[in-house]
Each structure stands twice: as structure tokens, then as C-alpha cells.
């Protein structure tokens, strides 16, 4: 029986044939908003079930982080009976999301064309690493895309090696793009009565997500390079040392820089022609930086944070993840929710009428298999 869950996507059935991160993240966002998400796993389960440490009660927290509010059914697509169940699910679904290699589901009759022939209203989303054309043979791991897209060439010290980001940023970004694409396609279906194929690849998500860096290349021919924590177009916009640790200090415009100089006790710097405008500060950053550091070194980080914040100068301490969660809690953002006894991070979008739900814990492998098979047999 399809579950009805309050939320803006109540009544939407999602057949989730994805695994690891981009797809499961997208489907969890949809599930939090009320969609009934059925997670289809192979007999061995989602790969992230084995990605440890850390664990909670013996279960990978990687898996737990992107799979709440779903029901699980384990299906072996090489088994005729299980394949029949998978097809029945796809033919009933409002949305099907998969991240097999391009063309990988064709032999099972679960590719877009086959599913849409039986279910023309389906919104079918495909996720790949490098598209369904010449890059179809390449696996879609986030680290590969961080390397191939150019992100790693931007990350790290100027004279040091390239570094990956501390999280799978392009998997997450692609998951967000999938969710946006699915919602747009559902809107189109509501208006015109027909579904469509939504395609997202990690490389395209990455190039879009590189924003000013990729724009600088395609629009002006520049090739950005590693600058450590510095910003190519703003200064200051980086961590600066204080008496007891670094503080991120930002002057996003000339007025903020003037306030920064006033709090630091060097108001004359704001009138120095080398520093008066942002474009001047970026050119003369090597001259300005030591002048700011000399003042910041006179007091502790927390003292500067309080005074700069009070003056309207953007700044922030460099926290651990634990500190970041604590800060969100202190700010009243309630970052942690519990779904069936399993803590997780709250859905990031607030709604005045249809708030996200955090009802079901991440499912055990095939936890709902019998229930789903019985419903599909009706």
C-alpha cells in the first residue's frame, strides 16, 4: 500500500534505484517533503552500508545520513521474479531515479524508454558521472569529478599539492540538481499530463558549481589557480591570524572595509588610495595583509569576533563540525532531528504550511520487502 505522508509531495511515489550519495541524497530530500520513497537495493545492499567508520549501532553513518524516510526492498534484477517486481514498481511510480552506468538498465527493461512506454507520466531521472555520450564508460565517483573538473587545481596552498574538498561536494550538488529537475518535471506533468527524462551528470554539476571560477574562464579566458584560502576577486576574504588563532575576516564591499579599519584602530587605511576600493585592495593585497595582521595580533580571536560582528563586519571562527552543529543549535536552527531513534541533520528548507517530516529511520536492507511485494501484487 502506498503511504500517504503529509507534506508538499504527499502522494508522489518515488522508485529509488540509486545508490551511494547523489541519488540517495536527492530522494531523501523528496522523502522529507512527503514523497513515498521506495529504495530498491541489490541483494548486497547500498554500497554505503559498508563504508565505515564511523558507525552507530553497527550501521554506517554515511548510509544513515542520506536514507531516512524511505522503505527498502532488496531485488536481484537477474532473477525473473524480482525483475517483475521492479518493473511493476517502475510502472506505478510518479518518479524513478537511477544512477546505473548509462544504458545499464536497458537489458532489464528499466531504461527510460522502456519505463515511459508503459508509464508515460513517469518523471525518470538519470544520474551519471560524465554524461550518456562519450563519457558514458567513465564511473561517476565524486573524487574523479573533483579532479577532472578543475576543483582540485583550485584547492590547497599555491606552492603545495592539489587537494580534494572535505566532503563529496559534487555528489551533493548533483543530488540537489536532480531534486530541482524532478520538481520542475512534476510541475510540467501537472500542466501537460506527460512525464519526461531528467538527466544530471556530475561534471556538468561541477562546472556549474564552480560559478565565478568557471565563468572567469568561459567569459574572460582566465585559468584560475590555487590561492590557498585567498579569494581571487576580494580582499580581505580569508582567515587572518589573531593572538590565539585564525579568524575569517571579510570585506565584501568598501563600506565593510571602512568599518573593519575603524574597529582595528587604523581608519586611515580606508582612505589610502591603494586600498580604498575593492579592486585596489585585491591588487595590493600583499601590502595590506600585514597591516591588518599586525593589528589583529594584539587581541584574542573571540574578542575580535565580538567587536567586528557588532560593527557589521562579516567574520567567523574556524570551527570543527561539532562546533558548527553547536553554533546552529545556539542560533535556534535546531540542526539535529531524530527519526525513529536515529539522529540526523534536519532538512534544510523551511515551509510555513507543509514542513518537512522526519518520520522513518534509514531502513534495514529489505526491511519493507514483504509489504511492498504484497502491495505491488494487488
Active site residues per annotation: 171
Q: Which three cell numbers stand for residue 21?
A: 550519495
C-beta separation of 175 from 29 below 8 A = yes
11: left (phi over 0), alpha (psi -120 to 50) or beta: left
In 3D space, the residue among 236, 310, 308 whose CA is nearest the CA of residue 265 turns out to be 308
In 3D space, the residue among 212, 230, 209 whose CA is nearest the CA of residue 220 turns out to be 212
Q: How far apart are CA 204 and CA 181, in angstroms?
A: 14
Amino acid at each position: 500500500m502506498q503511504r500517504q505522508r503529509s507534506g508538499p509531495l504527499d502522494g508522489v511515489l518515488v522508485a529509488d534505484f540509486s545508490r551511494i550519495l547523489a541519488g540517495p541524497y536527492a530522494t531523501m530530500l523528496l522523502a522529507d517533503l512527503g514523497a513515498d520513497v521506495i529504495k530498491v537495493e541489490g541483494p548486497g545492499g547500498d554500497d554505503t552500508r559498508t563504508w565505515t567508520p564511523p558507525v552507530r549501532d553497527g550501521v554506517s553513518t554515511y548510509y544513515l545520513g542520506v536514507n531516512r524516510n524511505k522503505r527498502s526492498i532488496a531485488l536481484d534484477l537477474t532473477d525473473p521474479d524480482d525483475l517483475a517486481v521492479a518493473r511493476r514498481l517502475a510502472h506505478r511510480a510518479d518518479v524513478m531515479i537511477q544512477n546505473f552506468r548509462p544504458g545499464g538498465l536497458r537489458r532489464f527493461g528499466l531504461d527510460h524508454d522502456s519505463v515511459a512506454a508503459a508509464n508515460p507520466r513517469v518523471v525518470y531521472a538519470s544520474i551519471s558521472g560524465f554524461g550518456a555520450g562519450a563519457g558514458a564508460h567513465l564511473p561517476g565517483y565524486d573524487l574523479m569529478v573533483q579532479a577532472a573538473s578543475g576543483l582540485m587545481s583550485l584547492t590547497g596552498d599555491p606552492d603545495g599539492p592539489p587537494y580534494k574538498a572535505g566532503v563529496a561536494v559534487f555528489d551533493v550538488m548533483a543530488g540537489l540538481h536532480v531534486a530541482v529537475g524532478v520538481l520542475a518535471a512534476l510541475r510540467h506533468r501537472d500542466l501537460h499530463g506527460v512525464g519526461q527524462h531528467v538527466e544530471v551528470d556530475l561534471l556538468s554539476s561541477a562546472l556549474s558549481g564552480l560559478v565565478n571560477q568557471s565563468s572567469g574562464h568561459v567569459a574572460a579566458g582566465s585559468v584560475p589557480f590555487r590561492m590557498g584560502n585567498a579569494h581571487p576577486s576580494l580582499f580581505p576574504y580569508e582567515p587572518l591570524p589573531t593572538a590565539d588563532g585564525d579568524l575569517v575576516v571579510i570585506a565584501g564591499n568598501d563600506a565593510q572595509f571602512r568599518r573593519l579599519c575603524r574597529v582595528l584602530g587604523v581608519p586611515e587605511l580606508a582612505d589610502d588610495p591603494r586600498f580604498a576600493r575593492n579592486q585596489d585592495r585585491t591588487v595590493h593585497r600583499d601590502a595590506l595583509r600585514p597591516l591588518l595582521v599586525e593589528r589583529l595580533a594584539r587581541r584574542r580571536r573571540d574578542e575580535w569576533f565580538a567587536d567586528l560582528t557588532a560593527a557589521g563586519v562579516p567574520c567567523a571562527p574556524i570551527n570543527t563540525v561539532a562546533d558548527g552543529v553547536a553554533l546552529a543549535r545556539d542560533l535556534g536552527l535546531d540542526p539535529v532531528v531524530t527519526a525513529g531513534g536515529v539522529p540526523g541533520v534536519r532538512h534544510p528548507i523551511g515551509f510555513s504550511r507543509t514542513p518537512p517530516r522526519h518520520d522513518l529511520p534509514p531502513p534495514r536492507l529489505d526491511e519493507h520487502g514483504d509489504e511492498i511485494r504484497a502491495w505491488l501484487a494487488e
